[in-house]
Chains A and B, each alone.
Chain A
Amino acid sequence: MTLDMLPIGRFARIVAVHWPALVQEEARRLRALGLEEGARIAVSHRGILGGRDPIAITVGRMTVAVRRAHAAAMEVEEL
């Protein structure tokens, strides 16, 4: 399952990230924010108008907003 499909409130671990699908700078920024392989995360909020975009992700003690395209590049495993 990719991260954009994860229902709100469920915890998961990022098992793989398809880095080449992301713009290099954004990939670096995601890494810097701790969104990379091995991170334990949960989807905490979704945007208005159907909730496709953006997605708020809890990682550690931090909440990070990303676009669906970023989340779709991350393979997760529910915990």
Chain B
Amino acid sequence: MSRQRPEGNRRVALVGNPNAGKSALFNALTGARQKIANYPGVTVERKSGRFVLPTGEPVEMTDLPGAYGLDPTSPDEEVTAKVIAGHFPGEAAPDVLVVVLDASNLEQHLVFAQELLALGKPTVVALNMVDLAERDGLVLDAAVLAEELGVPVIPTVAVRRRGLAELGEAIANAGERHPGPGLTALGQTERRVAAHAMADAAILSESKRHRLHAKLDQLLLNPWVGPVILLAILFVVFQAVFAWATPFADALDAGVSALHDGVKAALPPSLLRDLLTDGVIAGVGSVIVFLPQIVILFAFILAMEASGYMARAAFLMDRMMASVGLSGRSFIPLLSSFACAIPGIMATRSITDPKDRLTTILIAPLMTCSARLPVYAVIIAAFIPHTSVWGGIGLQGLVLFTLYVVGVVGAMAVALALRSSMTKGAASGFIMELPKYQMPRLKDMAIGLWQRAWIFLRRAGTIIFMVTVVLWVMLNFPKAGPGESQVDASIAGKVANGLAFVVEPIGFNRDMALALIPAMAAREVAVSSLATTYAVDAGDNEDEQALELGDQLKRRWTLPMALAFLAWFVFAPQCMSTIAVTRRETNGWKWPTFMLAYLFGLAYIAAGATYWVAVAAGL
């Protein structure tokens, strides 16, 4: 959040409608030297960077959130309006405005532009994406527009770096303006009429050529073909997240193991060494291995966003999401949560309605993330017979599928309940511009991917690091006396004894209670922690030691216990990172606390019900 900006540097803000190509222009001007943070108090991204004008003067450039006007209808627009007016606490008002217009949507974008020009600030207009307008058969005269608006108008193609030098020149020369009454006195409707007139005047020629995006929409929004294409795309995304990521994840895993063993071999046995290897490297490493999945998932999300397809997916899914009080915008974040709730919750930023967004964040952890898979896989393999039911459908796969479905159904039920209670509000509408299709630019994608990966890595380096160290300390102190197991003697062991009392009614034994503690860091740790516990427990008995974890489980757990354990993991919020990212995205502890409480409550009820029903059924 540090904002060391040398006093005296002028501040230049990019402002314009959503889909005007502002971010691409910002990327082109500042390159990868960007600082991303949140505006204090709100979860709206603040992007800033340095740009050196042709005169050699460095300026601080900010990319303000897209807005349709200065009268805000969303948190994004509120930030933009306040920053421009200089009313945002801790943010100096920009010295120069760069109004970004989509060249092929002038009659719309000029409405907001007039409102901005009426402010009288030094202003430059970037007539952006002129190449796409030309592709649509639209030829524009920037000089006519400049005369109408009374400020320099620079045609730009951000993605091809066209017009950037001229834009810099114009920013350097932008001076005080005194907008005439013709601009300031207008209302919204008059501005719209004026925008039409100006756009018409600036258009040199316009062919009636059928636009590409209309044709694509015929296909992609077709009520029958559209959903099939969406499903196919989603299938590829999931395939990629789970299959393509595997070699990279395995390589990272191997690297972490090698580092673990290397450090272990290099250092003399000591507490510090154990903290470093078993605590830090093992703990942080278990989270880092998800990086390939997250990068691949975000590559698809960014490509879908940049191409304009994301809005179409939201359009197709809106009807179904509306049935639980959400809108189509919640679809992609929830979908992402199947890989990991963290990118899912991060992706909720595209939801404009705050209550919609909060509801989506709260139910995101119910989507079965990939960290649950190791837990499910081990338990299912141990307890569910490898048989077929109803001609060829494997029972094991069916159980796994059921666990996914229970999560989704649970999420829908919770969304309905929340929308009629805690996040109650006017039925969230769905008003969304469907942007023109565009080829995603590799450079913009790379910058976006790097930013997501960095957020993830930074969290692994801070919060997850801290939690891991705390857990390690809890598991290793106080030291066990002779003949006593370290697990039993440790603080964690004591906590587990207390916890065992709480989870006994839902069929959990002490080992299961113990596994839940380190699994707070990340769910999949439950598996390794069960393995450790039983390995320690087996002691010197070689027959026992030779048993695989699955066989150990089979000897020690009953089927109802195993099913209850599975049901627990469908709901339990056993992921510190999710809680941390929820805190970050909701700006406080209120909602993460609520999330923890309701998810643990659901997990307890679900596991208990599963256990007792299974016992009653004689399983």
Contacts and interface: CB of A to CB of B under 8 A. Distances in A.
A47 B438 CA distance: 22
A45 interface: yes
A31 B188 contact: yes
Interface residues on B, range: 35 or more
Contact of B108 (A33, A49, A56): A33
A59 B429 CA distance: 19
Given A47-B319, A60-B107, A67 B68 contact: no
Contact of B221 (A31, A37, A45): A45
B189 interface: yes
Given A31-B188, A60-B108, A47 B68 contact: no
Contacts of A25: 73-74
B105 interface: yes
Given A34-B108, A64-B434, A28 B71 contact: yes
Nearest to A49: B319
Interface string A50-79: 011110100111111111011000000000
A47 B105 contact: no
A56 B107 CA distance: 19
Interface stretch (B310-318, B330-338, B460-468, B563-571): B310-318
A70 B108 CA distance: 20
B430 interface: yes
B318 A65 contact: yes
A67 B226 contact: no
- Determine the main DSSP class of A at the interface with B: mixed
A12 to B, nearest CB: 18
Interface in B49-78: 68-69, 71, 73-74
B223 A46 contact: yes
Contact of A33 (B68, B74, B221, B322): B68
B195 to A, nearest CB: 9
A30 B315 CA distance: 17
A79 to B, nearest CB: 16
A45 B316 CA distance: 10
Given A34-B108, A63-B434, A65-B432, A45 B217 contact: yes
Contact of A62 (B74, B105, B112): B105
B266 interface: no
Given A51-B223, A63-B217, A32 B433 contact: no
B223 A64 contact: no
B68 A61 contact: no
B104 interface: yes
B433 A62 contact: yes
Given A25-B74, A61-B104, 10 more contacts: A23-B429, A47-B319, A48-B316, A59-B108, A60-B105, A60-B107, A64-B434, A65-B311, A65-B430, A65-B432
29 contacts: A26-B431, A30-B431, A31-B188, A32-B68, A32-B73, A32-B112, A33-B108, A34-B107, A34-B108, A34-B192, A44-B214, A45-B217, A45-B221, A47-B223, A49-B223, A53-B318, A53-B319, A54-B430, A56-B217, A56-B221, A59-B108, A60-B107, A61-B105, A62-B108, A63-B434, A65-B315, A65-B328, A69-B429, A70-B429
